[in-house]
Amino acid sequence: MKTYIPLLFILFFTITGVAQTGLETRKIDILPDSHLSIKGTTNINDFECDFNTLRFKNETFKVHYTENGEILHFKNSVLPLENVNFDCGNRKINKDFHELLKSKEHPEILLKLKKIDMSEEGNSIVTIGFTIAGVNKDYKFPVEITRDKQLCFDGKLKLNIKDFNLEAPSKIFGLIVLDEIIEINFNLNLKT
């Protein structure tokens, strides 16, 4: 009976190894000249909250993917964005921004890369799962990918804060109202 236990372990690891043969892993660094921001509007003015990409300076991320022609399918490839690294240029707006995102309960936004489809001419189509304030929602949108000296992903996505059960804080007895549609802009330069 004792000889069967090692054989079971070998069989188990062989089977799981065969199931994962197409999965590749690549390390990426997000370069400091990258840009990521969230733009919004109120009935009074516009605002933009920039993410401090220097936070990524000494951090390497892993992406796990399978390739099927011009389509990459990703698994467990998550980029966490800590809410404290967003700066809206004004302490009061920063406070409102963190209140909107429920930063005390949910201190980070998670971007889960799911798929990149490069099969059509022009822009690639990326699918990303966003987790904001504990709510997950997938979005599919065009991204421009360039490969000069480095790999660059450039794009923008408009989303509705209501998709994440978020309600803008009411200011000055409801006189200042945040538009439900916000825009995420990014220009990520990567070293692979």
DSSP secondary structure, 27-62, as one string: EEEE-TT-EEEEEEEBSS-EEEEEE-GGGGTT-EEE
Token reading at 157: 């996505």
If you average pLDDT over residues 62-76, what whole number do you get? 93
pLDDT at position 112 over 80:
yes
* pTM higher than 0.85: no
120 DSSP assignment: S
Which of 141, 140, 184, 137 is closest to 165 using CA atoms? 137
pLDDT tens track for 47-61: 899 999 888 877 889
Q: Which residues pair with 87 in a beta bridge?
A: 50
User: Is residue 176 very low, low, confident or very high in pLDDT (cuts 50, 70, 90)?
Assistant: low
If you average pLDDT over residues 85-114, what whole number do you get? 93
Across all residues in the chain, what is the average pLDDT?
84
Token reading at 147: 């490969």
pLDDT at position 153 over 70:
yes
If you average pLDDT over residues 16-26, what whole number do you get? 65
- Give the best-scoring range by mean pLDDT among 2-11, 100-109, 174-183: 100-109
Tracing tokens 């660059």 back to the chain, one arrives at 152
If you average pLDDT over residues 130-137, what whole number do you get? 96
Lowest mean pLDDT among 14-18, 61-65, 156-160, 178-182: 14-18
